A and B are shown apart, each in its own frame.
Chain A
Amino acid sequence: MPDVFFELSFIWAGLIAFAVLTYVVLDGFDLGIGILFPFAHTHKDRDVMMNSVAPVWDGNETWLVLGGGGLFAVFPLAYAIVMPALYMPIILMLLALVFRGVAFEYRWKTVRWRGVWDTAFFGGSTVAALCQGIALGALVQGIDVDGRAYGGGWWDWLTPFSITTGIAVVVGYALLGSTWLVMKTSGAVSHHMRDIAKPLAIVTLVFIAVVSLWTPFQNAEYFGRWFNWPGTLYTSPVPIALVVAVFLLFQGLATGKETTPFLAAEAIFVLAFIGIGISFYPHIVPPSLTIVEAAAPDSSLLFTLVGTLVLVPLILIYTTYAYWVFRGKIDPDEGYH
């Protein structure tokens, strides 16, 4: 096994995982707001919901571009195998993101067609989340590789397992969205979202449980990672931390806390993500393509790494600044548009 600390491809696997995780953490609640659009009582509530992310949504989505672009840059073989394998869910996700993205501007420009763009925002967000979940499930169940190309068929991604992970992500993003709105809005919207968050949390946990128990049976290697001593020793903190986060979520919702439910819900996502990472390692495309095999030559990895180490901290700083500028509760009377 290569030395993890000096092997550039492992550093890069960590960075790509970080980019994808940041995407999930930031765009999850953003998509969740779209998923929750039909549950809003009035169009004014929808205005407030959308305004709570309007200044930051495209920064959030840029992490998805980094995930794709980064994979292309440092793991071109993984990119070249995964994209054709997940052809349909990826194309559907992209089209869904088109609808959802333009709705941010369009729905303020028209009265007659506002319903159309509200639907586009809801539909786009939901389909994008579903496709991301399906893509995740399809990766976990494994992708056929033939030489340096995808070796499977066009519908391989479609299985009961991937549909389950797809729905799980939709429900989970809705949970993130509802807890974000608890934090960012006031009055009726906030109360309403607090009521919705509880059942969403329960359903999310059921899905996490189902997927967690199902995953080890997708691949014997996953099973060994989680249930064989001493692997269990290293993996056990993940489920333990999950229990703590779940407790904080429900307690925060019940006791009227504003920020705790959102942070706890995000923590649940982070832990689930770490859990998936543990199952994957050392593969980048299970079950056969490893991180080392998929990596670009060292000259590519090093050239990109230098800029990344300078730019990513900067990006995190000014992204934090952008959130800080628009901090606090949304004033329903402050029209952003």
Chain B
Amino acid sequence: MLSGFSAEILARVQFAFTVSFHIIFPAFSIGLASFLAVLNALWLWTDNQVYRILFDFWKKIFAIAFGMGVVSGIVMSYQFGTNWSVFSDLAGPVIGPLMAYEVLSAFFLEAGFLGVMLFGRERVGNGLHMFATGLVAFGTLISATWILSVNSWMHTPAGYSINELGQFIPEDWWAIVFNPSFPYRLLHMVLAAYLTTAFVVAGVGAWHLLHNKADAAGRKMFSMAMWMALLVTPLQIAAGDFHGINTLEHQPQKIMAMEGHYDSHPEGAPLILFGIPNPDEKRIDYAIEIPKLSSLILKHDLNAPLAGLDTIPDEDEPPVAIVFFSFRIMVAIGFAMLGVGIWGGVQRYRKRLYDSTWLHRTAVLMAPAGFVAVLAGWITTEVGRQPFTVYGMLRTSESLSPIAAPAVATSLIAFIIVYFFVFGAGTFYIVRLMIKTPQAPDDLEENGPTRTAGITPVQQLDDSHLAPGE
């Protein structure tokens, strides 16, 4: 089935597939963990029941998403060794310790307090439960910090020397951790996670408002999410701009591919809004472009010269078409999010936030937009780093394990089947929880079907036990 492909391309597809599936869950759980901490704090602070209803509603969804993130993440921590053992041997001394720190400072923290957060409110009391919930949220952010440091180092390596075996040897840990692209990438990703979650929450809130405008929980979550959309989207667009300028400085050919600049522009480069890259002729077909705007965005000067891919040796060029398209998808979604945020702000000002059916429909439609933008953004930056694993230093083709193509092909097929089956089912359960009307937990006790046993028909009793709390 996959014969005819080299082990290298199969291993790349496998990594792309497993990491793409994986990033969906952290992108959601980073935002959701913080949202849950805020909800629980607001409930304790205001004693307003609706926050507690929302906490319990999103907690169940978080548990599933987090579980999927854990199991797809374990795969990642072993895949460096199975398929990319040469990379592991050579880059391990630098990035291995950062990943060990991620496990030690974040994964254990999240896992250790997750149980208390999900199941322990009655056992430990509200104070310690809040503490645990806060630590889980904090843990997700620490985790993002370390792994983005690792990833950024692969884009903008710093603070190392190379020994006689070709290994990267750490010289200055500060320079390694705080490598040049790290602060921008971290900010861009954390904001992306928050926005992704905000649009999911907005979509779910809007869904409930479409069915019942008076639903207090639906109103509250929609309102909170629309504040996030209005305030965070502009920040994210600004952060993206800074990130782009940083990339221009350190990885110019990635920007050339993103912009579709096959040719150098000594007197100001145009912004190509859309077009179809033609790699054979090295030009963008059917380009719709605005003169000099690219120079203005990247150099803040209309006439600033910008070099193109014609200055880069062919064997060092990233695949242009993928980077070009994925970048445009990400940017388009970003501006669509900005539009929804502003629309929500206007409707709030007109006191029609909960009555605007078209806004609600749009929000439902936009619920998965963050995931698409996150994936498109990662595809842009990772494919844009090719043909290197450690940018400029170690080629992807020289990073591979000594593995046979059939072994990689078999495991790739297994991953595809299992992931679609397992995570498809998980997504189905999550969506089912999302469209269920948020209910007050009777008397705020966790669950416990026993109390209602006397008044519940036998048939339902059985179900209520199998899926308690639903």
Contacts and interface: CB of A to CB of B under 8 A. Distances in A.
A269 interface: no
B111 interface: yes
A99 B422 CA distance: 7
B422 A77 contact: no
A70 B94 CA distance: 13
Contact of B100 (A69, A84, A97, A106): A69
B469 interface: yes
B403 interface: yes
Given A62-B111, A95-B415, A315-B112, A335 B169 contact: no
B468 A59 contact: no
B67 A154 contact: no
B82 A87 contact: yes
A79 B81 contact: yes
Nearest to A319: B112
A65 interface: yes
Interface residues of B, number: 82
Interface stretch (B84-92, B180-188, B330-338, B366-374): B84-92
Q: Could you say which of A64, A84, A101, A148 has the most chain B C-beta atoms within 10 Å of its C-beta? A: A84
A161 interface: no
A26 B13 CA distance: 34
B403 A84 contact: yes
A153 B418 CA distance: 26
Contacts of A333: 448, 450
A287 interface: no
Interface residues of A, number: 73
Nearest to B72: A98
Contacts of A307: 100-101, 104-105
Interface of B: 63-64, 66-68, 70-75, 77-78, 80-82, 85-86, 88-89, 91-94, 96-97, 99-105, 107-109, 111-116, 118-120, 123-124, 163, 165, 167, 169-171, 173, 401-404, 407, 411, 414-415, 418-419, 422, 425-426, 429, 432-433, 446-450, 463, 465-470
Which 8 A-B residue pairings sit nearest by Cβ, starting from the closest?
A: A76-B92, A83-B81, A55-B115, A73-B96, A80-B85, A73-B100, A101-B71, A80-B89
Given A72-B77, A319-B112, A333-B448, 11 more contacts: A62-B107, A87-B403, A95-B414, A106-B429, A109-B470, A110-B467, A154-B407, A311-B104, A321-B112, A326-B120, A335-B465
Interface of A: 43-44, 54-56, 58-59, 61-62, 64-66, 68-74, 76-77, 79-84, 87-88, 90-91, 94-95, 97-99, 101-102, 104-106, 108-111, 113-114, 148-150, 154, 296-297, 299-300, 303-304, 307-308, 311-312, 315, 318-319, 321-322, 325-326, 333-337
